[in-house]
Amino acid sequence: MTTKTGDTTKQLTWLAGALKAPRILESATRLADQARDAGWTFEDYLAAVLEREVSARNASGADMRIRAAGFGARKTLDDFDFDAQPAIRQQVAALGGGGFLTEARNVVLLGPPGTGKTHLAIGLGIKAAHYGHRVLFATATDWVTRLTDAHHAGKLPAELTRLRRYGLIIVDEVGYLPFEQDAANLFFQLVSSRYEHASLILTSNLPFSGWGGVFGDQVVAAAMIDRIVHHADVLTLKGASYRLRNRGIDSLPSIRTTTDNNQG
């Protein structure tokens, strides 16, 4: 009996290695006694073993996709303080289901600095990774730098094609720094290449009416917004920066005030 059991274990070890699924052996061994005691059918036992292998692979793959996404920090939707943003709770919960990704819809998060836009963008990105989508995260400035480098190398079309393979691209901090005309055109090409093909998440401290100043061209900004918003969920966050809570500072200078003072 011992010899037979040993032979079976060796065979399972070899088969698990051939399938590149070493966890199957552990699951099969751990579940064997449970299956016998509970009177499982062969089909029930096989399904249980395979289910654990699939779950483990999914978890491992999601972790790899999250590490490859370039998030500065891991922020989940569960950690978000919805008491500070109750108006968007249901919208975010719906987006967390991942349906917007299969429909190639976009998400735009607008609101003052410090209200949680980046947190939500990363949280949705992590959800996307768990759903099996490849994700890339960077600030708008970093995206422009990446596209500019590809353009100068004569590889912009190839880069845009490669980026289309990602189910989700996150563009953080649109509006914090203005773009030169060439940079704005490159960013427009990124948006256009993903239109009705794959999803974008964008965060901005500016309303859409202020994007013309960011991109230096009202026509380019209007065309870009048209493509972004055509199939999009737009969420507006409100309130003071959570970073300033309990620091005796009620608010930050408004964008309009800062712009007006610079122009003066």
Lowest mean pLDDT among 54-63, 89-98, 174-183, 209-218: 54-63
pLDDT of residue 244: 57
pLDDT of residue 26: 78
- Stretch 181-199: mean pLDDT: 95
Q: Between 187 and 60, where is the model more confident?
A: 187
Q: What are the pLDDT digits (tens) for 52-88?
A: 777 777 667 888 999 999 998 999 999 999 999 999 9
The answer to whether 188 touches 224, Cβ cutoff 8 Å, is: yes
**Amino acid identity of 254?**
S
Cα 73 from Cα 219, distance rounded (Å) = 35
Q: Which residues contact 42 (CB under 8 A, 6 or more apart)?
A: none
Whether 259 has a pLDDT exceeding 50, the answer reads no
Residue with tokens 């108006």: 87
Q: Between 63 and 89, where is the model more confident?
A: 89
Whether 91 has a pLDDT exceeding 70, the answer reads yes
pLDDT of residue 5: 60
Residue 254, token pair as written in the block: 């408004």
The answer to whether 137 touches 120, Cβ cutoff 8 Å, is: no
pLDDT of residue 194: 97
Q: Between 6 and 174, where is the model more confident?
A: 174
pLDDT of residue 155: 97
pTM, two decimals, is 0.76
Lowest mean pLDDT among 134-143, 190-199, 208-217: 208-217
Residue 224's φ and ψ, nearest 5 degrees, are: -70, -50
Cα 77 from Cα 201, distance rounded (Å) = 15
pLDDT of residue 48: 83
pLDDT of residue 117: 97
Q: What are the pLDDT digits (tens) for 218-255?
A: 899 999 999 999 999 999 999 877 655 655 555 555 54
Rounded (5°) CA angle 31-17-6 = 55
Q: What are the pLDDT digits (tens) for 109-166?
A: 999 999 999 999 999 999 999 999 999 999 999 999 999 999 999 999 999 999 999 9
pLDDT of residue 45: 85
